[in-house]
Structure 1
Amino acid sequence: MAPNKSKASSGGGCSCSLTKVLTIIGALIGLFFPIYYILERNLEKFYIFELDHLKDVSSRGIEKYGNDTGKIVEYIVAELHEKYPRHVNPKWNVPEEWFFNNAGGAMGGMYIIHSSITEYLIIFGTAVGTEGHSGRHTADDYFYILSGEQWAYVPGNFTREVYPAGAMNHMHRGTVKQYKMPNDCFALEYARGWIPPMLFFGFADGVFSTLDVQTLYRTVVVTGREMIANLLIGKI
């Protein structure tokens, strides 16, 4: 009879532990869901950048400098830094601020202008071309083409979407596309919504495919630096 009592006792212990775990999970959901709901309803209040201004400054940069992508980037970053000096990383011409980004099978160079919990603004592009999966994200993504073209495809269509320099490709939150950036395509990419969940997509290729520890380290350091800086000055 003793072994049976032991088994019963063990089963009771497991049941009790599971109940405690489920209770804790339920309490955490009950605690954080109202916070998430309130923040979600008020996300607009946390955004720094204006869509019309990003479109306008990109268009003016293209009109002023044509095919000189470096000058376009300098023009955009200089104006953004003047308008938002506490929120913009102005070091576009510092080599250490640029690093590769591998995500969804696509690869390109990236420079982080701004990163926070609710927004990121980057320059992303490649001189040799790339193609991949856009990801399905928790933020709206606005892709302002500065040079070259971006192509996109949605299943069921029989023609590609073409976004030339000066155009903007808006990826709505939760949607997904196949995209391609042929040779010499660079863009100002702006995401607004919940940024942290997007980081898993951004890091996955580096962790499970390229194993490029140095690039992962630089990405984490710069992203973290910008996010923490914006939290400290009261912007999420």
Structure 2
Amino acid sequence: MAPSKSSSSKRAAKSQSGTRNLTILAVALALLTALYYFLDSHLEWFYIFSPSHLQDLSQRALAAHGNDTRAAVAFIVGELSEKLPGGYVNLDEEWIFNNAGGAMGAMYIIHASITEYLIIFGTAIGTEGHSGRHTADDYFYILAGTELAFTPGSYEPEVYPVGTVHHLKRGNVKQYKMPEACFALEYARGWIPPMLGFGYADTFTSTLDFPTLWRTTWVTGREMVSNLARGKM
């Protein structure tokens, strides 16, 4: 029995609708890809911190306060809040445990936005782990103690004592270790949201510390949303 004209028309209309939807999806994907590459090549438009200033600030904080890390942190945060008024700098010293890549420490989130984060990260007893492979450059300004780093093929560790900076380039990965007490000003610039998965993974595969996960999410989300409201990506 031959199909009716109405059945043929419905199939044709359905086929045309599917083709149209695929075309719209392809165009949308192409536009989003073009937008991503455009923004990725102009990320400097959105940065409010600079690695050179943070290195200078860290060294001046150390020169002013020596081994008093708490005072050095207060010095750094105080100058940044004066340089960047309007709420870009979180003045509440909210310390939160952080487990990522097998390492454990604590962090104080000074700034978090779509393209940058600035934290104090460290531990009073030492730790070791995987750096993660990230969508942002990471700068680690050592304020106390020493950090060691290792890449495959090396026979000697990279050594970063107080006053130095360890730059982990976007897309690279290392093993790192803080043999004893070590604290650093950590600055990441690039795409920050994709880094959150690395920061969350250990909760689900190891620690099951969901209260800390909630605090991390709340403080990070609060800072990102408030900075977006100020027009800061």
The answer to whether TM tops 0.5 is yes
CA distance in 1, matches of 2:20, 2:102: 41
Q: Name 2:91's counterpart in structure 1.
A: 90
Aligned to 1:136, what secondary structure does the other structure show? Answer: coil
Number of corresponding residues: 218
SS at match of 2:48: coil
5 Å-filtered alignment, 1:202-213, equals 202-213=199-210
Q: Which residue of 2 aligns with 1:197?
A: 194
Partner residue in 2 for 1:35 = 35
Percent identity between the two aligned chains: 63
- Counterparts of 2:147 and 2:181, CA distance in 1: 10
Give the counterpart letter for 1:89 in structure 2.
N
**2:96 pairs with 1:99:** yes
Identify the residue that residue 81 of structure 1 maps to in structure 2: 81
Q: Which amino acid aligns with 1:32?
A: L
SS at match of 1:37: helix
Cα 1:20/1:174, change in 2 over 3 Å: farther
What is aligned with 1:62?
Answer: 62
2:160 is the counterpart of 1:159: no
Task: Give the aligned residue type for 1:73.
Answer: V
CA distance in structure 1 between the aligned counterparts of 2:84 and 2:215, rounded to whole angstroms: 24
* Deviation at residue 42 of structure 1 after TM alignment: 1.0
Deviations 1:30-49 (A, max 9, x none): 13111111111210110000
* In structure 2, distance between residues paired with 1:208 and 1:28: 36
Cα–Cα, structure 1 residues 113 and 156, in superposed 2: closer, same or farther, change >3 Å?
Answer: same
Structure 1 residue 107: Cα displacement: 0.4
Q: Secondary structure at the match of 1:26?
A: helix
**Which structure would you say has the larger Rg?**
2
Q: Which residue of 2 aligns with 1:6?
A: none
Give the distance between the partners of 2:169 and 2:106, measured in 1 at CA: 23
In the alignment, the residues of structure 2 paired with residue 126 and residue 221 of structure 1 have an alpha-carbon distance, to the nearest angstrom, of: 22
1:38-80 CA deviation, whole Å, 9 max, x = no partner? 1112101100002111011100111111111111111101111
State the SS of the aligned residue for 1:109.
Answer: strand
Where does the alignment leave 5 or more consecutive residues of structure 2 unmatched? 1-14
Give the match's secondary structure for 1:197.
helix
Root-mean-square deviation (Å): 1.9
Shift of 1:24: 6.5
Specify the alignment match of 1:51 in structure 2.
51
| Alpha-carbon distance in structure 2 between the residues aligned to 1:225 and 1:20 | 40
- Shift of the 26–209 alpha-carbon distance from structure 1 to 2, 3 Å rule, reads farther
The 1:19–1:184 alpha-carbon spacing in structure 2 relative to 1, beyond 3 Å, is farther
Aligned to 1:233: 230
TM-score, normalization: structure 1?
Answer: 0.88
The change in CA–CA distance for 1:22 and 1:164 in structure 2 (over 3 A counts) is farther
Q: Which runs of no fewer than 5 residues in structure 1 stay unpaired?
A: 1-14
CA–CA distance in structure 1, aligned partners of residues 118 and 28 of structure 2: 32
